[in-house]
Structures are given as C-alpha cells and as structure tokens.
Structure 1
Amino acid sequence: MAGEAEPEAGLERRAYARVGLLGNPSDVYGGRVLSFAIADFSATVRLRPSPQLLIQPHPHHDLVAFPSLPGLVSRLQNEGYYGGVRLLMAICKVFYNHCIQNNISLKAENFTLSYDTNIPRQAGLSGSSAIVCAALSCLLDFYDVRHLIKVEIRPNLILAAENELGIVAGLQDRVAQVYGGLVYMDFSKEHMDKLGHGIYTPLDVNLLPPLYLIYADNPSDSGKVHSTVRQRWLDGDGLIISSMKEVAQLVLDGHKALLQKDYVELGRLMNRNFDLRRKMFGDDVLGSVNIKMVEVARSVGASSKFTGSGGAIIALCPDGNSQVELLHKACQEAGFMVQQVKVAPSVLTDKDLASLLTS
C-alpha cells in the first residue's frame, strides 16, 4: 500500500471508523446497508519481525497500573475492562486457523504487534473492529497471502475474531473497513446461504453530501436495557419483520437518491431509518443521551440517525450553511461535539482489486 513501510522494515496498516448511512441494523436481519469509512478517526496496527511472537499492550488502553483503587474503579466504569490486546490475539488465532483449514502455508517467522487508535470509545463508530481489521491487513502482508484470502471473506474473519470474545455484531462494519470509501451491501439470505457473505459494491464517495458527526464526550448509555428485537424477529413478530424490511428498502431508495444527488430525499430516509429503529427497540434500549443527539439535530431541521447502535449520530443539513451554523450552535449548547466528516478513500490494494475481479 502506498506510503506504508516495506515488510523488511516492519508494517503499518490503518483501518478507519465506520458510519452507517442507511439500513442499519437490517444487516443482521438479511437486509441492506449503505456505509462509509471516515478519515477523521482510525486505528493503526504495526507489525515488525521479532524473535518471539509478542502482542504489545497499549500504554493507555491496556492499563494494568492505576493510581489508586478509586482510580481503577473509575477507569472501568468509563472504559470497561478490555483494551486491544485481546483483539489482536483473537485475529491471530482466527487468521491462523483459516489458513490451516484452507491449505495456505505460512512462513515460520515471529513478529510483534502493537496498536494505537483515536476512535472514541462506545461511540458507535466500530473502534474494536478497526483494530482487528488493521491487524488482519498486517498479517496478510507479512505472510504474503493477501492474494489467497479474498476481499469478500475478510470481513467474516474479522467478525469471527470478535465473536471469539463474545462481541455480538454484524458484517457491515467490517465490510466498510475492509473496503474503505462508500459501500452498498446486500445481505439477503440468498447471498449469505450461497456465498457465505453478502454482495458488496463500492460507490463513488463524491455522491455523498456534506455530513456531520455528532457525539457525546461520555460513553453511550445505550444497552443498559437488553434488547428483545432479535428474539422477536426469530419468533416471527410481525412488527419487527415488517419494520426490518422497510429499513432494508430505505437503502434501495437511498441509493437512488444518492445517484440523483437528491439530498432532501436522502435526509427524509435517514430520519425514517431512526424512527423505525426507535419503534422496534424502544427508548430504554436506545438511551436518553443518544435520543437527545438526534433531537438536537432535528431541532434545527437537520436529518439524523445513529451511525451504528448508538453513541454518535450522522446529520445532514439540506438547507445549507445557515443550517450548519444552527447545528453547531445547538450541539454546543447541548454539550455535544460536532464536526463535518471526511470520507476515507478506498483502502483496497492492487492485489485486492485483482482478487475482486476473479471472484
């Protein structure tokens, strides 16, 4: 990859935060999504040859020393128990097992993995999978097997590594991070059953209007109440099934709106996406801070929805600069951060593109 270190000097690979523009959470219900990667936040993993295989803890995210017992408790309450070391270990295991099962030979050399990230925690921007994605990219190039593990399969490996750790998620985040840029994804049962993955179509990022990321300086309060949506869907609940189908349909309509650069329609679809999520999951699951972010954006006429499962929202200001100024002011008064997002470019290499052509 251009601008990155050569294997003999060590490798450095990057994966970007992800924003769900339309369709989430239908990706785990046989639906569709439009997602894109943003350059504002990313995770970086470095790999260098070493005598022993070493997973290096991050000096901040993998703390084991604290100033006091109250300091330890405060840290756990704000950021949880886990850093990135377990993520690196899990992708190493999944990568190795995949290669063994598919008769992909690996050279007998060891390495040291380290990581860094500036993706806000618990902000619905897929920070954990970004670390795993960047690490997988390092492994692919260190062992020179990028051409042997197809692009479409890599999100499955990233998800499998997170599943090892009990992280429950869908494929869309990992697809957006493996591909970069803007991606249309179809997770219909037909594709998943036949291929083991969805159909992923990169789109021109210039189709996107200016978009604004809004997030809180404190961790998301979503998830305090367990969601029953998955079980209701499995039980054939009519409301959940019909709502998920409508969420997936929004992506087809949104794709058309993007191609026509009809951003008023795109904004309407974004609002509808959130309203359907709220109807299915309920306010207790979504969390009061998350709902407030959406309401603050809508108070100035901006369209908005969650970037993921909560913690941050993406907003569209169809009325232009004057509305953007109002959005900034409203967010500042409510104590939320707001910034225009910069869409990350495609991160596919020439080998990756060749792999896609042979799929």
Structure 2
Amino acid sequence: MHKQKPKIKYKYKPLAALYFILVGALHAGGMNQKMNSTEEDITSGMIERKAYARVGLLGNPSDVYFGKTITFSLGNFWASAKLEPSHHLVIKPHPVHDLVQFDSLDHLFSRLQSEGYYGGVRLIMSICKLFYKHCKDNGINLRPGNFTLSYDTNIPRQDGLSGSSAIVSAALSCLLDFYNVRHLIKVEVRPNLILSAEKELGIVAGLQDRVAQVYGGLVYMDFSKEHMDKLGHGIYTPMDVTLLPPLHLIYAENPSDSGKVHSTVRQRWLDGDEFIISTMKEVADIAAEGQSVILQKNYQKLAELMNHNFELRRRMFGDECLGDLNIEMVEVVRRVGAASKFTGSGGAVVVFCPDGPSQVKRLEDECRKAGFIIQPIQVVPSCLNDVDLQTLSK
C-alpha cells in the first residue's frame, strides 16, 4: 500500500524553492521516458539560442551615467540556452555552475571562493518571470504549453565579459521563439527586460552589455537622459564589424583578487560631484568621437582614444579600486607600446597593436611571463533576423 508522504514545513522559502527545482530536474529524465506519442511529437520543437560575451571598446562605464559607448559581441565566448517542450515547467540546474553536491567541506569552500554562490538557475527563473509580466502588462497572449529550460556557458567568470547577462539573453531568445512573440517585443525593449531580470536579483549594471547581446555585432549606443526619459531606452546604431582592426583579448585565469575596494563613484555622481560628472562626460565623448574615427578607419587615433578611456577611468576610480591585477594587465600592454582598456569593469582588457604582428608577438611573450591569457578577438556580426529588424523603430 502506498504510504502518504509526510508534509514538509520549510522555515526558509528560498531553500524550499531550490529543493523543488532540483527535484524537478532530477525527475525530468524519467518523465520524458513516459511521454506518449503526441508528446514525443512536441519535443521535436527543441529551441537552442546563443548570446555572446561582449567587449566595451570605448565609452564605458558612462552607459550608467547617461553617456555613450561603442561595444561589440565577442565570438570567443558565449552562453547558450536550450528549451524543450515538456509536461511541466522545469528550470534545469547546470551540473557545474549550480553545484549543490560536494566532496567535502573543503571542496565547498574552494568552490564558493572561486565561483561565488550563484549559478544560472536564478537568472533563468528571473527572466521567465519578467518575460511573463511584460507580456501580461502589454496584452501579449501566450499560448499554453510548458517547457524544460537549461543553459551552458564557457564565458570566464569574474572577467568583465558579461557572463550573467549572456545567460539571460539566450534564455529570453528561447522564450520569444517558443511562444512565437518575437515580432511583438521590440528589439530596443529587450535589453531593458534583461536588465530588469538581473536588477531583481540585486545585480547592479547598465544597458550596454544587454544591447550588445541582443543586437550582436558592433553597436554605437547613446544613453542620453533625453532619450532615456522619452523612449525608455537609448538610441542604438549598428556599425559594420569589418571597420574594426585586429584586436586581442587579455584576461587573468584567476581574477578573484582584483578590485576588492568598493567604488564611491556612483554615489559621488549622484551627489553632484563636479569632477566625476565632467570626467564621465569626457568618457562618453570618447565614444562619440570614436564612432567617426572607426568609420574613417583612423586606427592610430583609435589607439589614443582607448588609452585615454582607461586613464579617465583610473582617475575617477583610483588604483586601489581597480586592483593590482587589472592594472598589471594594462601595464603589460604598455610595455610593448600597444593600446588597451578594460572590456568591462575589470578582469580582462581589449588590446590594439597598431604596429602589427611583430608587436603582437612581443605582447604574447610579455603575457606569458606575467601569466596572462591572450587570444585574438573574434567579432560576431549582427544577430538580428528579419523578424527582429521589422520591430526596430524607424
């Protein structure tokens, strides 16, 4: 006789939620085996989408200060999301990034020291919630049907390459196609949706990364207050990726010791600090000038703008906040006379060697000595399809 399972009372609701997520994932495999022929037909509609890491080429971090940036999608690294129709709605934990079983307390300690507490499950749950809310608030009817959503990523953690938002972006793209509403949610609005999902989890960020991952390719972004107040988003102008010269990426394999001091720049800006406000405007102006420079293929000037962008950031944030490891990456580049700046908030730098292959070779030697990883940058072209393009504001 089947015994009734005792009711479990949870004092902490988040733990209860995690329990049911994990149980659902463990039973997903067995559940799929019990599908009838009709359900097997549905599973042929598996959807898989990618979102790439991004590089802030010029203008960051002014995107969160009503500034301007030029950013591109980095083909070297990406996150992917896979959606498969199923009886129940299941968010599948990643076997590595959402690890909850450890060999020992030492293993748990080491894992949390290097990877942090959170993986991608919370990100995917958040975008599902915000996607549903957006559709409900805007009268977008969603067809019935459940799914199992999983993710994978090879974007290095804590390297300033926007790994978290890539997971959210890929998941959103799956939802758009599963519910066939890509034509009903404008491209310009999607970065806001992604950012909202991250903000709900306490992640502090701007729109730049999310725009790059939604659009793909090389994009000039204007986040002026006028646009943000009037439209709710910036003005995003795609550029031809072939205009860029060969670029390189340098990053640290273990960046956890960089930039430990909390920045006061945001609060100073809110308090009306004239130095921060004027310097941040200067950073934004670098991106505006950079748009013309790139269109003209004036690569020597591009190198100057990249270096100047870093120096302005250094003046505002200070060396203690930037971290020794991040500064050392820039210094390594300068030892061979190349140009560089942070790809994001630190952990990796984007490099341009105006003197060509011989300079790249010297840089590779210096990186090897310093223990940094260097690789040529692959720029992803625009990922907008015909349906996406039709939703763009004229």
TM over 0.5: yes
1:249 — aligned with what? 285
Among residues 18, 33, 36, which one is paired with 2:69 in the alignment?
33
SS of the aligned residue for 1:104 comes to coil
1:337 — aligned with what? 373
CA distance in 2, matches of 1:7, 1:140: 17
Among residues 187, 201, 224, which one is paired with 1:151 in the alignment?
187
List gaps (5 residues or longer) in structure 2: 1-41
Among residues 241, 256, 259, which one is paired with 1:205 in the alignment?
241
2:139 — aligned with what? 103
1:270 to 2:335 alignment: no
Could you tell me how far 1:295 is from its partner in structure 2? 0.6
Could you tell me how far 1:256 is from its partner in structure 2? 1.2
Contact 1:129 1:174 in 2 (8 A): yes
1:79 to 2:150 alignment: no
4+ residue runs over 4 A deviation: none
Contact 2:259 2:324 in 1 (8 A): no
SS of the aligned residue for 2:379 comes to coil
RMSD after superposition: 1.1
Q: Deviations over 1:237-260 (max 9, x none)?
A: 111011001001101111111111
SS of the aligned residue for 2:237 comes to strand
SS of the aligned residue for 1:304 comes to strand
1:161 — aligned with what? 197
SS of the aligned residue for 2:79 comes to strand
CA distance in 1, matches of 2:280, 2:59: 9
Contact 2:114 2:256 in 1 (8 A): no
1:66 to 2:102 alignment: yes
Alignment of structure 1 residues 295-314 onto 2, 5 Å: 295-314=331-350
SS of the aligned residue for 1:183 comes to strand
Contact 1:39 1:343 in 2 (8 A): yes
* Equivalent residue pairs, number: 353
Contact 1:214 1:312 in 2 (8 A): yes
Among residues 122, 132, 142, which one is paired with 2:158 in the alignment?
122
SS of the aligned residue for 1:191 comes to helix
1:214 to 2:260 alignment: no
**Bigger-Rg structure (1/2):** 2
Could you tell me how far 1:219 is from its partner in structure 2? 2.6
CA distance in 2, matches of 1:93, 1:287: 36
2:213 — aligned with what? 177
Could you tell me how far 1:213 is from its partner in structure 2? 0.2
Specify the code of the residue in structure 2 equivalent to 1:230.
R
Among residues 173, 187, 200, which one is paired with 1:137 in the alignment?
173
Could you tell me how far 1:222 is from its partner in structure 2? 3.8
SS of the aligned residue for 1:151 comes to coil
CA distance in 2, matches of 1:25, 1:312: 14
SS of the aligned residue for 1:103 comes to coil
Specify the code of the residue in structure 1 equivalent to 2:154.
N
Specify the code of the residue in structure 2 equivalent to 1:120.
P
Specify the code of the residue in structure 1 equivalent to 2:104.
S
CA distance in 2, matches of 1:349, 1:115: 22
2:231 — aligned with what? 195
CA distance in 2, matches of 1:168, 1:325: 37
Could you tell me how far 1:69 is from its partner in structure 2? 0.3
List gaps (5 residues or longer) in structure 1: 1-5
